[in-house]
Amino acid sequence: MIPVGAHVDSSDPIVAAAQIGATAAQIFLGDPQSWKKPATTYPDGPDALREAAAAAGVTLFVHAPYIINVASPNNRIRIPSRKLLAATVTAAARIGAAGVIVHGGHVTAGHDDAEGFANWRKAFESFEPECPVLIENTAGGNHAMARYPESLARLWDSLAGFDVGFCFDTCHAWAGGMALPEDVAEVRAITGRVDLVHANDSLGERDSGRDRHANFGAGTIGVERLLDTIAAAEPAAVVCETPAPGVIDDIELVRERLSAQ
């Protein structure tokens, strides 16, 4: 069965997953706004978490810190971003994570987008991932590496030869201007795969550039379009990043739709 779950607290993601009926759990390995080295807070450490997840049938994902921007032309951001991404991937591998999700990043105004794509390649050349790296599409920014299908195509061309996964965020796609569910097929044609869906409704209108998640039906995407998008990405795992307690209902809607396929 396709793993379906939510972003949960990292202190005990197995218990948190059980409380919401999830078979997938996404966590942070530290403060998402900090450059500090990632760490596992689970009792008895990363090996124990890996074993507990396997025993419970929970698929773990790790979301890299938001501050990472390996595309940045600023070496005070780019170099620490590479190091933190590499450290996060290593820590995620220790807990048996199915992937590390990282935002595509951007370059600043006045810089050629090509510089950002080249910086992504340099990032992958700088370390050997011990678990899959899943680049996530983003909602805003005119110089984003992963907002539009056109930029995604350039990014994947720059990463030719590397094993790169993809995380399709429905809120980001909608707010970023994509057509749902139609653009799932276009994205898959570019990336070759969709490993994970971040299943979120969007408070912002289509092409608003606003990264504001909502529970299913509480945003502008609409429940049926949202579920159609998730189904179009099958057999990708699904993680809801929607507010509690409504996330339980969101998980159930996803599970019902996928079981009806």
Quote the percentage of the chain above a pLDDT of 90.
97
pLDDT higher than 80, residue 177: yes
- Average pLDDT of the chain, as a whole number: 97
**Domain limits at 66?**
4-259
d(CA 94, CA 80): 21
Indicate the number of domains in the chain.
Answer: 1
Question: Tens digit of pLDDT for each residue in 81-108?
Answer: 999 999 999 999 999 999 999 999 999 9
Residues with Cβ within 8 Å of residue 142, at least 6 apart in sequence: 109
The pLDDT, as a whole number, for residue 142 is: 87
- Position 235 scores a pLDDT of 98
Q: Is 95 strand, coil or helix? A: coil
Q: What is the pLDDT of residue 105?
A: 97
Q: Would the pLDDT of 261 be above 80?
A: no
CATH number at residue 145: 3.20.20.150
pLDDT in tens, 15-59: 999 999 999 999 999 999 999 999 999 999 999 999 999 999 999
pLDDT value of residue 47: 97
The pLDDT tens digits for 104-159 are: 999 998 899 999 999 999 999 999 999 999 999 999 988 999 999 999 999 999 99
Block residue for tokens 């124990």:
48
